[in-house]
Amino acid sequence: MERVWASRLRWRATGATQWPAFVLFTVIDGVLLQERPIAGDAPGLFPALLFAGFFNLILVAVGAPLAGRLLRRRRGDMPAIIASDVAGTALLVAGALLVAGLGTAHHQTIARQHAAFADGVRRARAYVKQNAPPEYRRRVGEATSLVFGNDLLRTCVPGDDPDRWWCVFVFTDQDPPGLREDTNRAPNSSYLPSDRG
């Protein structure tokens, strides 16, 4: 009887890891997605936790039972519920490693985009200082930049007329970034959605 009790306790301890691991790895994955996003820029911690929870729930609800069946083929002495639990925990670990790997790979792309953006803004300001009329050159410190997609930004400097800005398109997919003056003198704020209903 003691051997049966010890065996059952061992199986219960082995099979009680999936849900604590789910909570732990949802937090870990959320922080990883915030610090090292797998695509685009950091989504914010709350959306990252939501995405991580959804991803991990799919691993536990769909992947764990299937992987548990495969595990039971190799370990026939293992009860089905324990096999599913062990497989689910392993999938959560693998999922965290995948998120960390993808985030690390994507981090280099983000760093390059940010460096190109900073270089593009610097070049646009230098272009305005050299080519714009004096009313824009003296206000180059008030320049604003708006990003369009991954490789295009528009930097504008205000003039004496609040509706006429000096604007330059910056193409960051080139090295060094390419510049082209925009004939449209509308400020960057005109491209942003209005809150008025």
Which pLDDT tens digit goes with each residue over 30-86? 999 999 888 877 788 999 999 999 999 999 999 999 999 999 888 888 888 888 899
CA distance 56 to 59: 5
All residues at 6 or more sequence positions from 120 whose CB lies less than 8 Å from its CB, including other chains = 145, 153, 155, 170, 171, 172, 177
Q: Tell me the average pLDDT across 123-152.
A: 89
Query: What pLDDT score does 196 carry?
Result: 40
Q: CA nearest 118: which of 37, 172, 166, 39?
A: 172
Query: How would residue 193 be classed by pLDDT, with cut points 50, 70 and 90?
Result: low
Query: How would residue 197 be classed by pLDDT, with cut points 50, 70 and 90?
Result: very low
Query: How would residue 114 be classed by pLDDT, with cut points 50, 70 and 90?
Result: confident
Query: What pLDDT score does 77 carry?
Result: 81
Domain ranges (residues) in the chain: 2-109, 113-191
Q: Is the pLDDT of residue 127 over 70?
A: yes
CB atoms within 10 A of CB 134: 8
Average pLDDT, the chain: 86
Q: Is the pLDDT of residue 191 over 70?
A: yes
Residues 176 and 123 sit within 8 Å (Cβ to Cβ) = yes
Q: Is the pLDDT of residue 29 over 90?
A: yes
The H or E element spanning position 163 is none
Indicate the range of 11-15, 101-105, 115-119 predicted with least confidence: 11-15
Entry pTM:
0.59
Query: What pLDDT score does 7 carry?
Result: 54
Q: Tell me the average pLDDT across 182-194.
A: 83
